[in-house]
Structures are given as structure tokens and as C-alpha cells.
Amino acid sequence: MSLRHTGVLLRSQPLAHPWLLPRRSVHSPASFRQVSLLPDRKRRGVVFPFSALEGHLDRRVDWEDFQLFHPSEEDLRRAEELFTPSARHDILYTSSAVRMDHVPVTQQPEVCFIGRSNVGKSSLIRALFSLAPDVEVRVSKTPGHTKKMNFFQVGGAFTLVDMPGYGHKAPRDFVDMVEPYLQARKNLVRTFLLVDGFVGPQKADLIAVEMCEEFGLPYVMVVTKIDKVRPGVLLPHLLQLQSLIKTQTKYCFAQPFLVSSIHFSGVHLLRSFIAHVTGNLQLSS
């Protein structure tokens, strides 16, 4: 389907050239080295955000699918090296495109991020690249700020593509820009479909899921803004999404990822997953 036409068990509980901005300093939670110094429970909550929700789940709920991808601390450290620039490993914005004949030609693996306008996509990409302070990704309070496909090169390892948001603030030529890319980009190894944890999957998100299924794209769901929502609101949305993945998808990775771009919760895990699916990280366990 084209984007052109765009029961929960809980325990009772109390409830553009945007890359020329001033240089940022690296925030300490962005580094796994700093997170590893935290007390065990807090460290686990940052690296594996779902662990903080387990106590709120009814025991009859199967939570195994939320922990399928479980890298070791050594894996997390090795993945972090991939997102850290060095003299031999540049991380940089390379180009923007509005048509397939404008996209850069590259053979290295590629991942793209797509989601509804104002889902927090640019904020998440900025958090992923927070260890590379020269790479600036503009984060706007105005939905639909991203109007082009923006390409970021991570050394010779992979390319990350920031796609325009879909929904009522999408660019007029969104479909002509995005669908040909998703269908024709042969080195695209994974699409990351972002869903707002505060409001849960919306109609436009379900259309995006149908599109990924129709195109046969390997993709993964990422739940954003988990710092802005209480467990009693987040968990129903999360379990609704998990039911959707189990019953209505064929190409979606079974585990949804939870992230907070503000507190860096889940960011280290997502870096490891990206490193893994692009062939740059063989898990030690």
C-alpha cells in the first residue's frame, strides 16, 4: 500500500543544510564507557530499556520477544567504536537528494530511518551520532522539517539515510522521492520504522508497515520518546505493536527497540544492532 493515501495485561500500579550549526560537546550518557560506570540496575535500564518495564507487566505476558537481540558489554563497546570518528574513520554528512538519480553511488551497506513527522527521527539520529560532534543534525520543533533524503557516511562501514517524515507535514513529492528509493536501493539492508511511544502506532504508521511488507523490506520498529510517557501508557502501546508484528508482518524483526534520545536509553543497543545488520559486528555471544 502506498503512503500516498495515508487487549493488554498490566499490573495495577500508580501511575536543509543543517550540518553547519555550532559544534556540540559529547554528552556523557552518549558513551557506553560512561554508562558502564553506573550502578547495575541503572546501567541495565539505560542499555536495555525494556528491563525497566518488566516489573509492570502481568506475569502472563510473554516478554521474551522484547529481548531477542542481547549483545554483551564487549559487543556494545565494539559497536561504539564504529560511531566514534578517528583519523582513519570519518563520520560525515555527504549529500541530500530528492530523486533516485541524485542519490550518492555507494556499494557499502545502507540503513534508512523513516517515520511520521515529529516522531523524533532527527533527534534519534543526532543521538546515534553524538560521539561525532562535528556531524550536526538539525532538530526542529516544527514537524516535517526534513524535506530531502540526507546521507551520512560512517567511514567505510555503512551509510545512514535520514528520510523525510510522512503524514500531514510530508513534502508534496514524498511518495515520488521515498518509494523508488525503498524499492530500488539494492544496498539497503535495513529500514528503521519509528513509532511515537506517547501516542502508539497511528494510521499512517500502519500504512508504512503495509508498504514495507509489500516491498519485502527487512525492517525493524523503533519506539521513540519513552522518557515522555509513563509505563501505564507506554506498555499498552508497546504490546499493541508487538501483537501487530506477530500477526501482521513477515519482514519485521520480532523485537521492537525502545529509545530515548534525551537520556540515551536504548541508543547503545540500537548502535549495536545497526553495526550487526550492516555486517560490522559479529556478536560474541
Residue by residue, pLDDT tens for the chain (285 residues) are 556 544 334 443 443 443 333 445 455 789 998 999 999 999 999 999 998 887 777 777 767 777 889 999 999 999 999 999 999 999 999 999 888 888 888 899 999 999 998 899 989 999 999 999 888 776 655 554 567 889 999 999 999 999 988 876 666 677 888 899 999 999 999 999 999 999 999 999 999 999 999 999 999 999 999 999 998 899 999 989 999 999 999 999 999 999 999 999 999 999 999 999 999 999 987
Q: pLDDT tens digit string along 189-244?
A: 999 999 999 999 999 999 999 999 999 999 999 999 999 999 889 999 998 999 99
Q: Is the residue at 234 inside a domain?
A: yes
Backbone angles phi, psi at 222, to 5 degrees: -125, 125
Backbone angles phi, psi at 241, to 5 degrees: -65, -40
CA angle 151, 157, 160 (to 5 degrees): 25
Q: Is the residue at 29 inside a domain?
A: no
Q: Is the residue at 237 inside a domain?
A: yes
Q: Is the residue at 81 inside a domain?
A: yes
Q: Is the residue at 212 inside a domain?
A: yes
Global confidence as pTM = 0.87
- CA dist 191 and 112 (Å) reads 5
Give me the pLDDT at residue 159, please: 97
What is the extent of the structural domain holding 230? 41-277
Give me the pLDDT at residue 139, please: 61
Backbone angles phi, psi at 144, to 5 degrees: 80, 25
Is-contact 149 162, C-beta < 8 A? yes
Sheet holding 149-154, edge to edge: 91-97, 149-154, 158-162, 110-115, 188-196, 219-224, 257-258
Q: Is the residue at 266 inside a domain?
A: yes
Q: pLDDT tens digit string along 17-42?
A: 433 334 454 557 899 989 999 999 99
Q: Which CATH number is 68's domain given? A: 3.40.50.300
Report how many domains make up the chain: 1
Q: Is the residue at 26 inside a domain?
A: no
Q: Is the residue at 120 inside a domain?
A: yes
